[in-house]
Amino acid sequence: MAAQFEPEGQAPPRFGLFLLQALIWGLFGLFVLRFWYLQVHKGEEFAQKARDNQLRQELLHAPRGLIRDRNGVLVAVNQPAYALGLIREDVRDVKATLDQIAVWTDIDLATLEAKYAKGRRRVKPFEPLILVPDLSFEQVARIESNALFWPGLEIVVRPRRYYPQGPLLAHVLGYVAEANEEELEKDPTLSLGDNVGKGGLEFTLEERLRGAKGLRQLEVDATGRRLSQHVMRPPRAGEDLRLSIDLELQARCHEMLEGQAGAIVVMEPFSGEVVAFVSQPSYDANWFVTGLSGPQWEKLRDDPMHPLQNRVVQSAYPPGSVFKLVVGGAALVNGVSPSERVYCSGQVKLGRHIFRCWKKHGHGHIDFLQALTQSCDVYYYEMGSRLGVDKISEFAMTCGFGHKTDISLPHEKGGLIPTREWKRRRFGESWQGGENLNLAIGQGYTLVTPLQVARFIGALVNGGDILRPTLLAGGEPERQGHLPLTDAQRQLLVRSMVETVEQGTARRLKRRDAVIGGKTGTAQVVRLKLKAGDVRRKLEEMPYEERDHAWLASFGEKDGKTYVAVCMVEHGGHGGSAAGPMLKGVYEHLFGKQK
């Protein structure tokens, strides 16, 4: 009988079967636990992801409101534009994709990477991140033809602003451009690549013009290709606006100021509606919509004529003799008789200083009306000396100077009406007697904007109401105050303007078929010290920056229509000769050529 072999030490473990069963049950429990975690605990989350992967929601961009001039001509419209979006969840290799976009668009790779890094946290899953907001047709064609090789890239069609008249209304409309980081942070409804108003009415009326985005649901396959779509919420277009601007008159004024720096404002005095608002030189607002190139920005930034400056509201100038209307009103209110005569010898001496009249040998004895009509400086030196800075400044501020007009445009300047306190605060010095004389003829520290002058002339004409200027047509006039003058005093100032056109320094505006009033101003920008025997140089012999500013403030009435027109030409010389022909052209447009 053969013996059975039982190797020593290799007997089956005593609890082997038990351990094997425990291991199997443990694995089974682990699988059950994992199954519960995925199907129950995380089930809804994964189901949502699956639905998102198949059903995606996409924002629909709303077109901005259209803008027309007062006669219905479109001045701001929308055109379709093509943007390049990247859907992160569908992209296989982000780095390679950004490399390829840089090749297609000639945009620096570092710029694209920075935009991707900033923008990826601002978009929801499966929402396109706009990397290039404006593609050319050639770029669209190139990208579309390679779309199959680059999953996750999408051409997004959006409305883009376009200004058909280019520079003509740039200082009124402003422009839209891509929202920056600060604007995106402030407004959660904005997405990367969205355009917002950056200047002019596009900026101040952004909420009315923007509209609201819509929502669309897309069904896609596993590769992200669209299978169907459904609009869940249609976009709401922005509000359409009608300007008070007459585009033909605007173009005429723009053309007349061509080649010079200055401003023309034409306003209806009984409504406050601005009919023409021209600041020259200007710029093409469309450049900002599509994105300025480096050379374009350098050209605008370095232009010595500063085309980005809105000279109607953002530039304040010494008003020169136009301010004599204000000082004349202050004189009447403070008891100066219109019949009182002041002797003008051509100069006044105060201490060691001699203050000269523009007329070398003087005007002789001259009363209130003659002083305004002939723009006599000596008469106003006398008024400045009698009234002093306190009374003149108080009256000027009550007439609306030294404050913004609150027209719906950004960065408006309020100008400056100096006071004793202002000078002490600004320079640490007390007010000097000679400064009253400079203040009385619109020189010294006094600064006004062309729009402030137009509002004041409008108040003289309309019965005394200081109205808020508006660039929108059809609204109710908004009264901001009232001139501190009696009707008789106000009418005397209006009459002085008519006399100035009939026989004074604004004769270029004279017409037989209309009532025209005006006041010229020639504001020194550099004080020239003339010694005995010196002869003041002619305008063309002076450096451009030393030439005087030319002003002409006016109003015109014909056939029941009344307008205020103000022109200011930087370094233009004399108001009558520089600004006069331009305002003559304005009235020819408004009233027709004189027969």
- Measured CA distances, 174 to 20, 147, 507 (Å): 81, 37, 36
- Residue 2 pLDDT: 47
Q: How do the domains of the chain map onto residue ranges?
A: 57-242, 247-591
Per-residue pLDDT of the chain (595 residues; tens, 9 = 90+): 444 555 555 666 667 777 888 888 888 888 888 888 877 777 777 776 666 667 778 888 899 999 999 999 999 999 999 999 998 888 889 999 999 999 999 888 999 998 898 888 778 788 888 898 888 888 999 998 888 888 889 898 889 999 999 999 999 999 999 898 889 888 988 888 889 999 999 999 999 999 999 988 888 776 667 778 888 899 999 999 999 999 999 999 999 999 999 999 999 999 999 999 999 999 999 999 888 878 888 888 899 999 999 999 999 999 999 999 999 999 999 999 999 999 999 999 988 888 999 888 899 999 999 999 999 999 999 999 999 999 999 999 999 999 999 999 999 999 999 999 999 999 999 999 999 999 999 999 999 999 999 999 999 999 999 999 999 999 999 999 999 999 999 999 999 999 999 998 899 999 999 999 999 999 887 655 555 455 555 666 777 778 899 999 999 999 999 999 999 999 988 878 899 999 999 999 999 988 7
Crossing angle of helices 487-503 and 450-462, rounded to 10°: 110
- Positive or negative torsion for Cα 580, 585, 591, 593: positive
- Residue 196 pLDDT: 94
Cβ neighbours of residue 526 closer than 8 Å, sequence gap 6 or more: 545, 546
Query: What is the token pair recorded at 554?
Result: 């006016």
Span between the terminal Cα atoms of the chain, in Å:
151
> E strands of 176-235, at which residues?
176-178, 195-197, 214-220, 226-233
Q: What is the CATH number of domain 247-591?
A: 3.40.710.10
Whether residue 524 contacts residue 542, with contact meaning beta carbons closer than 8 Å, is answered with no
- Residue 1 pLDDT: 45
Structure-token match 């209307």, residue found: 325
Whether residue 201 contacts residue 238, with contact meaning beta carbons closer than 8 Å, is answered with no
- Residue 198 pLDDT: 93
pTM (2 decimals)?
0.85
Fold assignment, 57-242: Penicillin-binding protein 2a (Domain 2) (3.90.1310)
- Positive or negative torsion for Cα 362, 368, 370, 375: positive
- Residue 229 pLDDT: 81
Crossing angle of helices 580-591 and 247-256, rounded to 10°: 160
Residue 240: DSSP 8-state: P
- Residue 377 pLDDT: 95
- Measured CA distances, 206 to 75, 185, 244, 290, 565 (Å): 16, 16, 18, 18, 29
Three-state SS letters, 264-293: EEEECCCCCEEEEEEEECCCCCHHHHHCCC
If we measure between CA atoms, which residue out of 101, 117, 192 comes closest to residue 152? 101
- Residue 17 pLDDT: 75
- Residue 3 pLDDT: 47
- Residue 59 pLDDT: 84
